[in-house]
Structures are given as structure tokens and as C-alpha cells.
Amino acid sequence: MISDLFKNTRPVNFLILLVMMIITMLFYQFFIFHSKWDLGNILQSLAIIVLLIINLFMVNFIDKKNDLTENNAYVILLFSVMLAFFPYIYDSLNIIISHTFILLALRRIVSMRSMKTIKLKIFDAVFWISVASFFFSWSLLFLVLVFFAILLYAPRDYKNWLVPLLSIATVWILYCTVAILLNQPIQGIASITPQWDWDIDRFMQLRYMIPMGFLSVIGGWALLLYFLGIGEKSGKYQNELLIVISAFLIGVGIALGAEENHGAETMFIMFPLAVIIACFLEKIRRNWIRELIFWIFLFLPLVALML
């Protein structure tokens, strides 16, 4: 039933997911965070839900514009459900803002396969990643993805390797200008340097172990099949798959190493993982198996919350 409902991308799919996200947001605010409904919390909650909706549409745009999956809505369904796996995503405005900018960067990186306006896309991607780092410093790790994309698509033009430096300098100049205009102190580079905290004990709680265990099993198997399928694609699509896999691995690095300890940092895994799992589900011939996996995805957040 679920797989049939989302086998095509239709407006009703977005409506269902938007309602689900709003209900999830309200549930977590009332029963997990016990938020006081003053003006500040209301405005923050509105900002979070609006940004999550923007994220949803951006995920769908990147997916469909670049043919990452077939003509279905599996990616946005998986992305929306995985957000519910980790309640504190719905209370982490800075991480959501940062993720929004990272999606803007990914849009430019993935589109490099067209080989058109490469330098502009590199500049834009680095620009958005640099902006994202002001809200969550670990976003800087996605700069690795930009250089990997240059290596895949246009490594011989030395100017492509210099464009990121120009983009970073542009963001820094803009930041300093705004800080001066607002009469604010200019923070040093150290203020946005990622703080390492390789502590996996944060995931030893049952509320994290269950969804992480499920995602590790289904995601690991899907990743293996996704990687093995690279050889079946043409050259430009092979690079695209490598970009998705690299984005996923960077997201895993952020989730394991970030100083955050409440699970919200796993948001950076979700888009590439949703693409990988969606491709895996598309290959399943038996509909009941695909349906079962979708139902497990839907019920896992409820199971984790009851523990």
C-alpha cells in the first residue's frame, strides 16, 4: 500500500509528508522537549518546520533533476521518516539551517555532471558550505566532496582547484563586512573549526541503538548493492553514484565525530542514505518485502520512543 502510494511523485505525496512532519514536530515539542509555548519557542518551531519543508522540496528537486532514482517518491518518504528517528533534529535550528545550505551545495555538486559552467558550480558549492559552517562547523567537511567532484569531472584545469579559495575568501569578506556594519566582533577561524569528539557512547541508548541498528543493516546492504551497481552505469552516472556515496560517508564522519551528542547531527546522513536505500527498494521484485521495509521505517520511531 505504501509503496503503491509513493510509486509516483504527486502533490498528494507532499501533502501527506508535510502533515506527518507537522504532527511529529508537535508531538516532540509537547512530549519530548516539554517546550513552553512562549513567543520565542513558537517562532523557533515555525522556523524549524518551514526549513524542514524547504529541505523536503530541495531533496526532491536534487533527486529528480539529476535522475538519482526512478520516477517515484521513495527518497522524500525515506528522508521524512528518518528525520523522525532522531527527535532532537526537530529542536536543532542551527543544524537544520546548516543542512539547508549543504543541500544547496549538493545541488551544484551533483549537477557538475553536465560539464557546463563548472567553475560557477564549484564557487557556489564552496560558498554555501562556507555559509553552512557558521551554523554548524562540521559542515566544512563537505569541502572534501567539492575537491572530489573536481577530481572526477575536471581535474586538468588548474583554475578549478583555485576557485574554492576565491569562494571561501568571498564568504569571509562578506562576514567581516556584516560584522563591522552591525558593530559586532569578528570571530577568528578557530570559532568555526570543528571540535572532535569521537565518542560512540552517545549511540548506546536504546532510543538511538534501535534506529541506528536498523539503518546500519538496511543501509549497509543497500550501500553494497549501490556500489556494485556502479559498473552498470555509464561514465557520467558512475561519477554521480560516487558523489552520493562520498556524501554519505562524509555524513557518517560528521555523525561520529561531531561534538553534538543528541543525534541531530545524523541529519547529514539522511539525504544520501535515502537515495541509496530508495535505489535498493526499486530493485526488490517482491512487493511484500518492499512494503514490509516501509512499515518498519514508519513504526521504528514509535518503538524507540516507548523504550
Tell me the per-residue pLDDT of 194-233, one tens digit each, with 9 for 90 and over: 666 556 666 666 677 788 888 888 988 898 888 777 666 6
Q: Which residue segment(s) compose the domain that 172 sits in?
A: 2-306
In angstroms, the CA 274 to CA 147 distance is: 23
In angstroms, the CA 227 to CA 256 distance is: 22
Q: Which range has the worst mean pLDDT, 21-35, 83-97, 107-121?
A: 21-35
- Where are the extended beta strands (E) located within the chain? none
Rounded to a whole number of angstroms, the CA Rg of the chain reads 20
pLDDT, position 115: 81
In angstroms, the CA 207 to CA 306 distance is: 8
In the chain, the number of structural domains is: 1
Kindly give the residue spans of alpha helices, DSSP state H, lying in 188-234: 206-228
Q: What is the pTM of this model?
A: 0.92
Amino acid in position 173: I
pLDDT, position 31: 77
In this prediction, residues 163-169 reach a mean pLDDT of: 95
Nearest to 226 by CA among 291, 273, 285: 273
In this prediction, residues 108-136 reach a mean pLDDT of: 94
Q: Read off the pLDDT band of 261 (50, 70, 90).
A: low
Kind and range of the H or E element at 144?
Answer: helix 143-153
In this prediction, residues 126-139 reach a mean pLDDT of: 94
In this prediction, residues 58-85 reach a mean pLDDT of: 93
Cell of 198: 569521537
Asked if residue 86 lies in contact with residue 263, where contact means CB atoms within 8 angstroms, the answer is: yes
pLDDT, position 133: 93
Cell of 228: 556494485
In this prediction, residues 54-74 reach a mean pLDDT of: 93
Nearest to 229 by CA among 241, 247, 218, 211: 241
For the four alpha carbons of 235, 240, 245 and 247, in that order, the dihedral sign comes to positive
pLDDT at 48 over 80: yes
Asked if residue 176 lies in contact with residue 281, where contact means CB atoms within 8 angstroms, the answer is: no
Amino acid in position 186: I
| Average pLDDT of the chain to the nearest whole number | 87
Tell me the per-residue pLDDT of 289-298, one tens digit each, with 9 for 90 and over: 899 999 989 8
